[in-house]
């Protein structure tokens, strides 16, 4: 579908003022402009442990996800969309900073709140997307899972968010009766939550939209669905009575609840007349841990915590009605780090960050104003595992073995081509080594200590 264009003759006063409309037109390559006088809202929805193959639009057949699928049908779906780590906390650190989290030592999950290293937390000298958008006049709201620090100075309200409702740790129960030892917070206060947690997050997200509808807002909505534990109320499980496996049936119910929650957010944006003023992303934080929750990554190989495709390639889509194409798939590699840079461009923030971003503004390629690939290469380092993707080629270092794949011909990473193409192998190894030299040592975790010991 062609993009909705705006008048090519920009008002003289806008040009002189350098207003939001001009900045947005430049970000889009001149293809579209925002509503006069208003910067676009940014909504970032994150699923937890959602496998690549678990949405209808991704090929799933036993769980319907009409609301999430509608983001793809009304926008752009990335077939080769990646996250910067195959586990939760590091991915979130990269997502909110727009930088490879290994640059500042955030390489591993921290462990439970009571056992986490005292140094755990998003580095104080890294800037979050919420902080940048807040400075640009946005209201900033977070609803859901944080997992970037437990100490007061590390919490969402100290990292750019005006409002926070959710929890600070990693895995969290969904049902109030099973929440012993697990805390839900509003701001910095512990509150009692009786509603099924996915439903509660939907409730809080639509309330945030209502509160801030008159002004630009950033809503960060990281669900804990569909992460373990497998818990869902009967009303959701009844939708999938035909699924015989009780674990799969509960997982399906959890995913369906999340789809309903996404639908409530989309409906409220529509009801408030905000659809065309809102850039909305949906992404998973890593691949599915299939043996634990049944969340499948087909047709990819591998799972959460692996740098094989199943651990790092995820459902990833974006929608902005009237500004981006509808029902388009984009097949060049992109990464979650790009969300930060794209949101800054949409907000008209042209000041260069103090530390260079690794993500790029995707708007020019999505609108067809640029045919360049967003990235020459993408990189991963997760303890003893590492990977690099350049074009169709991918190098994987895992369990002491080095393997080379051509993903165009071998999406399942079955055929190792390292011996057949040593020149390509060396090219990717050289690129990875140059990137690796830029990184910090891991700041916490047994894996980090082991890595530091190996480097001595």
Q: What is the pLDDT of residues 263-295, one digit of tens each?
A: 999 999 999 999 999 999 999 999 999 999 999
Per-residue pLDDT of 295-344, as tens digits, reads 999 999 999 999 999 999 999 999 999 999 999 999 999 999 999 999 99
Give the domain CATH number at 256. Answer: 3.40.720.10
pLDDT score for 171: 87
Residue 418 is part of which domain span?
Answer: 378-455
pLDDT value at 363 more than 80: yes
Token pair 């193959």 is found at 53
Token pair 């579209």 is found at 32
CB 321 within 8 A of CB 426: no
pLDDT value at 22 more than 70: no
Same domain for 288 and 313, yes or no, is yes
pTM: 0.91
DSSP string, 145-169: E--S--SGGGSGGGTT-SEEEEESS
Tally of helices (H runs) and strands (E runs) in the chain: 14, 16
In a domain, 13, yes or no: no
Q: In whole numbers, what is the pLDDT of the chain averaged over residues?
A: 90
Cis bond before residue 260 (omega within 30° of 0): no
pLDDT value at 433 more than 60: yes
Per-residue pLDDT of 86-137, as tens digits, reads 999 999 999 999 999 999 999 999 977 766 777 899 999 999 999 999 999 9
**Strand 316-319 relative to strand 278-284, pairing:** antiparallel
Tokens at residue 154, please? Answer: 């590390």
pLDDT band at 419 (very low <50, low <70, confident <90, very high): very high
If one counts the domains in the chain, the total is 2
Nearest to 337 by CA among 124, 103, 157: 103
Handedness of CA 256, 260, 266, 267 (dihedral sign): positive
Same domain for 333 and 429, yes or no, is no
Cα 340 from Cα 356, distance rounded (Å): 12
In a domain, 29, yes or no: no
Per-residue pLDDT of 373-415, as tens digits, reads 999 999 999 999 999 999 999 999 999 999 999 999 999 999 9
Catalytic residues: 88, 147
Give the domain CATH number at 390. Answer: 3.30.1120.10
pLDDT value at 447 more than 80: no
pLDDT score for 425: 98
pLDDT value at 33 more than 70: no
**Strand 41-47 relative to strand 81-82, pairing:** unpaired
pLDDT score for 354: 87
Same domain for 359 and 389, yes or no, is no
Mean pLDDT of 63-67: 98
Same domain for 360 and 394, yes or no, is no
pLDDT band at 32 (very low <50, low <70, confident <90, very high): very low
In a domain, 18, yes or no: no
């Amino acid at each position: 579908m062609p993009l909705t264009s705006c008048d090519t003759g920009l008002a003289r006063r806008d040009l002189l003022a350098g207003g939001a409309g001009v900045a947005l037109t430049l970000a889009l390559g001149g293809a579209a402009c925002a509503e006069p006088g208003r910067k676009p809202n940014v909504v970032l929805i994150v699923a937890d442990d959602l496998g690549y193959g678990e949405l209808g639009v991704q090929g799933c057949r036993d769980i319907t996800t009409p609301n999430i699928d509608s983001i793809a049908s009304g926008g752009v779906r990335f077939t080769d969309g990646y996250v910067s780590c195959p586990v939760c906390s590091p991915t979130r650190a990269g997502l909110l900073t727009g930088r490879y989290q290994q640059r500042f030592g955030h390489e591993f999950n921290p462990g439970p709140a009571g056992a986490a290293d005292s140094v755990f937390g998003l580095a104080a000298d890294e800037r979050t997307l919420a902080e940048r958008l807040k400075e640009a006049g946005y209201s900033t709201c977070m609803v859901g899972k944080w997992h970037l620090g437990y100490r007061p100075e590390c919490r969402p309200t100290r990292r750019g968010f005006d409002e926070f409702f959710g929890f600070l740790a990693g895995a969290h129960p969904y049902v109030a009766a099973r929440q012993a030892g697990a805390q839900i917070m509003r701001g910095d206060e512990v509150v009692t939550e009786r509603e099924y947690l996915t439903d509660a997050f939907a409730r809080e997200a639509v309330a945030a939209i209502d509160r801030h509808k008159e002004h630009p807002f950033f809503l960060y909505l990281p669900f804990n669905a569909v992460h373990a534990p497998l818990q869902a109320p009967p009303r959701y499980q009844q939708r999938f009575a035909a699924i015989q496996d009780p674990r799969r049936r509960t997982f399906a119910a959890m995913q369906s609840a999340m789809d309903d929650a996404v639908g409530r957010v989309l409906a409220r944006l529509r009801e408030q007349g905000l659809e065309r003023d809102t850039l909305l992303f949906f992404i998973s934080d890593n691949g599915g841990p299939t043996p634990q929750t049944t969340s499948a990554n087909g047709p990819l190989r591998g799972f959460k915590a692996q740098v094989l495709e199943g651990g790092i390639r995820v459902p990833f889509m974006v929608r902005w009605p009237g500004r981006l194409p509808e029902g388009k798939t984009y097949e060049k590699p992109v990464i979650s780090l790009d969300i930060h840079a794209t949101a800054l461009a949409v907000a008209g923030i042209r000041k260069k960050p103090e530390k260079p971003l690794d993500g790029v503004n995707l708007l020019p390629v999505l609108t067809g104003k640029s045919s360049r690939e967003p990235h020459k290469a993408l990189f991963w380092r997760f303890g003893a595992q590492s990977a690099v993707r350049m074009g169709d080629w991918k190098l994987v270092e895992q369990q002491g073995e080095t393997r080379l794949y051509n993903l165009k011909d071998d999406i399942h990473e079955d055929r190792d081509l390292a011996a057949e193409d040593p020149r390509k192998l060396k090219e990717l190894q050289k690129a990875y080594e140059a990137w690796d030299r830029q990184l910090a040592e891991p700041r916490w975790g047994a894996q980090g200590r082991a890595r530091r010991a190996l480097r001595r």
